[in-house]
Amino acid sequence: MSGAAPGEGDKERAGSEPTGPAATGLSAAAAGELPLRRVVRITNPLGLHHRAADRFCRTAQRFQARVVVRNGELAADGKNIWDLLGLIVLPDQEVVLETDGPDAAQALEVLTEVLGSPNGENYVI
């Protein structure tokens, strides 16, 4: 398709190119780079409780990326507080944080810090 806009129709051809999804305009998953995953230990002494989950959810909503938090077999939409609370994550437990989308790498870094924060009560978002 020679008349297509840059990035259109390239999703199937994009593979292990050194350029990131932000540079190509493709979603990171289409570029073959994602979803990005990171294991995060919950250090908050109350686990992933409602205030910490609210902070995480509000922060996740700033990103275009899809955000998923996994606790064992359970998965939650990181932008939905009720999904997060349904994971029942206890202190010192490990969860998997997964991001997928145009700003997935940035989202993963910021959300890892929020999720792994021992105080989770700081509302400077």
- What pLDDT was estimated at residue 32? 53
- What pLDDT was estimated at residue 119? 74
Kind plus residue range of the DSSP H or E element containing 95: strand 94-100
By C-alpha distance, which of 60, 66, 64, 78 is closest to 25?
64
Q: Structure pTM?
A: 0.70
Residue numbers of the domain that contains 66: 34-115
- What pLDDT was estimated at residue 124? 52
User: Along the chain (125 residues), what's the average pLDDT of each consecutive run of 10 residues?
Assistant: 45 34 42 80 93 95 98 97 96 96 96 87 53
DSSP lists the bridge partners of residue 68 as 77, 98
Does 69 map to a domain?
yes
By C-alpha distance, which of 61, 57, 115, 111 is closest to 82?
57
Find the radius of gyration of the CA atoms of the chain: 16
Residue 88's region, left for phi above 0, alpha for psi from -120 to 50, else beta, is left
Amino acid at 75: A
Does 87 map to a domain?
yes
The CATH number linked to 95 is 3.30.1340.10
Does 18 map to a domain?
no
- Would you give the distance in Å from CA 109 to the centre of its chain? 9
- What pLDDT was estimated at residue 27? 44
Active site residues: 49
Does 125 map to a domain?
no
Task: Tell me how many domains the chain contains.
Answer: 1
